[in-house]
Chain A
Amino acid sequence: MNLLYYQGSIELGIIYAIMALGVFISFRSLNMPDLTVDGSFVLGAAVSAILYTKGHPFLGMPLALVAGCLAGCITALIHTKLKIQPLLSGILTMLALYSVNLRVMGNKPNIPLINKPTVFSIVNDFFVSGFSDLVLSFIILIIVVFVLFLFLKTKLGFVIRATGDNEHMVKALGVNTDFTKTLGLAIANGLVALSGALIAQYQSYSDIGMGVGMVIIGLASVIIGEVLFGARSLFRRLTAVILGAILYRLVIAIALDLGMPPTDLKLISAFIVAVALAMPAVKEYILSFRKRMSSSAGGKGGEA
């Protein structure tokens, strides 16, 4: 067992947790299956990589966030104004983003981030330590969660959460749900893009295919968090998403450590999410099976 190896996984988990928080906003708070994520993640990475090559590693972060927000707005507009289902709206934006992302990256399928300082290497130069990546990513995550938590507790945050919970009610209480959905999807994809921007600098490359299955990873984190850490209060839910994201990375790391070929990663991700999503149904089966067993047992008892 290699400690450094697992420390890397935790760092990855922390950065991916920002993406998972975005997925949490769209899938849970808004109750919208938004597949823009696969595209907006790469968009963030692309913006970050391009600015890096121009010598602005820090500027790439906020710009990636804004670009992600715009991508989310496009999906929301397709859904709310053109009345196309959320699922399809997201897929359309994701598809369009593939071309956009290539353009952003100067028509190159990948950009290596070498020779110049990244956000991570700059911080490491200041505080020379084996933990600087970990601390930096953790600080960024804490800031993101803190701001997100406060936002979801504002009046605006309330109506966004209520939109996913009960759209009828929100409309009946005088709120334009087209607006709340747009705002929610913008925030969600902004976070996803920010995560992509950080990953690009952390891994020192940006690749056009790095977003494939990202939404599933995000969803896996959300669900693992919910199952293991509960969904009681908002604070608990956000913490659960983060822990879920880190745990997911650790599981993958262990699997790789045990000899799973890296090419099977997506297969495992899909499997984990399928299992997690199937939980409620499986519980039902078991319950009804037990009921049938006990009632037939009771019936026999009556006859005897």
Chain B
Amino acid sequence: MLIIDNLSKTFGKGTINENLAIDNLSLFLEEGEFVTIIGGNGAGKSTLLNCISGVYEVDKGRIMLDDIDVTFKPEYKRSKFIGRVFQDPLRGTAHDMTIEENLSIAYDKGKPKGLKPGIGKKYHKLFRERLSLLELGLEDRMKQKVGLLSGGQRQALTLLMSTIVKPKVLLLDEHTAALDPSIAKKVLELTNEIVKEYNLCTIMITHNMKAALEHGTRTIMMLDGRIVLDLKGKERKDMTVERLVEQFGNKNGLYNDRMILG
């Protein structure tokens, strides 16, 4: 469960470049809710996720995860409750370490780091199992360095790493945007499976309106740091890309072909 209460974030406060990126935004996510976020360039989507995960300090407002107020917790502390996958496949994994070493660090998230062996005895079997779910053959390459993997393989691995300990919320920032269409589709399917299996509270940013409506349980559109559309249930089911564009696309010139068709 995630509560965002009257959140604001300004970049470059007091300078000529002052820029209100998040404007008094409130959002409430139930357990297991899967929200997709769409919106034009600079709408504040990434900033919102970065505020939730603590990369940026907020100006005002509150962020709650379950019953925990994380508004002023440093990034590394709230990371214990948050899973993240970024657009850049290089950002989610340590390339000079092996697949199992990467997984192991992820699996020990939130646990004290002592002088125990980095890869626990029981880890191998568990990692094998989880990796085989990806159906990429990574379970037979556990001792290879992550630097040898392709972008899509890395992104799938990052997804696995960010959810191997169940997070209170999973944040995905255009995590398929840098991938080939077919691999992007595969990673998106995986995302769906994992979210469903763990009943994860998820926020996924995407530029692909079709994917935004097809996946998840709720769709939000952002503009200038605010939520301008919040679709759920039947209203969402009846919504089509064409109608979205009709209603919003032309009005504020937000969408180009890439966003519609992905």
Name A residues whose Cβ lies closer than 8 Å to a Cβ of B. Answer: 151, 153-159, 161-162, 165-166, 168-177
Contact = CB atoms under 8 A, between A and B. Distances in A.
B115 A151 contact: yes
A60 to B, nearest CB: 26
B92 A161 contact: no
Given A166-B93, A166-B94, A173 B116 contact: no
Given A155-B113, A155-B115, A162-B94, A174 B104 contact: no
B95 A162 contact: no
A155 B161 CA distance: 16
Interface stretch (B73-81, B178-186, B196-204, B248-256): B73-81
Contact of A169 (B74, B91, B117): B91
A220 B161 CA distance: 36
Interface in B138-153: none
A159 B95 contact: no
B169 interface: no
Interface in B89-145: 90-97, 101-102, 104-106, 108-110, 113-118
B53 interface: yes
Contacts, number: 84
Given A165-B94, A172-B84, A155 B79 contact: no
A176 B113 CA distance: 11
Contacts of A154: 114-118
Contacts of A151: 115
A172 B90 CA distance: 13
A158 B105 contact: yes
Interface of A is mostly: helix
Contacts of B91: 166, 168-169
Given A151-B115, A154-B114, A156-B113, A173 B106 contact: yes
Q: Which of A154, A165, A168, A173 has the most CB of B within 10 A?
A: A173
Contacts of B116: 154-155
B117 A171 contact: no
B105 A159 contact: yes
Contact of A166 (B79, B82, B95): B95
A151 B97 CA distance: 15
B96 A176 contact: no
B94 to A, nearest CB: 4
A146 to B, nearest CB: 14
Nearest to B101: A158
Contact of B94 (A155, A156, A161): A161
Contacts of A172: 53, 75, 79, 82, 84, 92, 162
27 contacts: A151-B115, A154-B117, A155-B104, A155-B114, A157-B118, A158-B97, A158-B105, A158-B113, A162-B102, A166-B92, A166-B93, A166-B94, A166-B95, A169-B92, A170-B105, A171-B75, A171-B76, A171-B79, A172-B53, A172-B75, A172-B84, A174-B79, A174-B109, A174-B110, A175-B105, A175-B113, A176-B76
